[in-house]
Structure 1
């Protein structure tokens, strides 16, 4: 851990920030597993070092060179190239581990939201509501007997279901024969709309994940 890492670790500890995060110790643990493949480019003073994880994934590369051939020392060139590759690999590990943690947290939120949505749909199915009652009216018809979620929470869950259905429909339209012949500006606007729907859905998922689980469900048992 360098001085800068120590500084910010102390600040984070002082602030008492509780959320999951990537730490310098985690990064250094991965960095310790990195191997370096080096080679001198024939006919030059350039040395290349490639930082490789045990899986074979290339994290980064480093390069050293000297302008005057009489200054070229192969051992020194390898050392400098590895040093640069290690620094670049460390930065890459921060980025990739951050992505992996962020994706895991997102999947947890989506999983909780999906569980809540399945529970609500199960309630609707058990109630055997008439087929003519659809969408919002179907939800309203069972609000009085839906346990565990308040009416506004049920509306948020239903809102996410409707939004996801619309996003799925738009994605199917992207794969249709009509979409490619639309003007480019319109295709760009539809793509931007689909991305915005994804952000909107993620926000709703976070809200749903914060709702209390339905009594009697597996989520409720796990939270006790």
Structure 2
């Protein structure tokens, strides 16, 4: 779990830096930074999504996953957690929940998260998580500049997700073959495209309700690839 703890620490540090800068920036600068993050998210998402080797599998994963997530209404649970944290810290930031969710998704959807979990889960030195920590240090600072304190609290689901994935990878490392990781990463990229569209206010998409698509992609890849 050393890599995950390091990652959490760098996100806290980066978010703190971003919050200090955020308080001194005019609204126009925050707005353009916000739009830049939206464009960046779209670019990352498209890059990851295009790695798929099976578009049919991707479509089935995102549709079935979205249906399951909508039926379970996962977004409502995450928003309740975000609202609970917002009340506890007495934040008045209107973008608290958006920053909380956006940061969590950006930090957790990439291939480095999955491959890093496998690396550390097998007991190896978490070099990928160390590299990811450096990237997330700068990303969290940029995100906090635009979204505010919600980014800082994204370390809670980040720790749960990334730590849990590391433990799971240690148990299922024989299952997570390269084709499965590729499709999992591609579906994660498609989710990030949806996040980018939401950030840019082009179309509001219930991104959190699509998270089961990640699990569906693993199952379908295991069965058919």
Q: Which has the higher helix share?
A: 2
Larger RCO (CA within 8 A; separation ≥ 6): 2
Bin of the TM-score, shorter chain as denominator length? under 0.3
User: So what's the TM-score if we normalise by structure 2?
Assistant: 0.25
User: So what's the TM-score if we normalise by structure 1?
Assistant: 0.25
Q: Which has the higher strand share?
A: 1
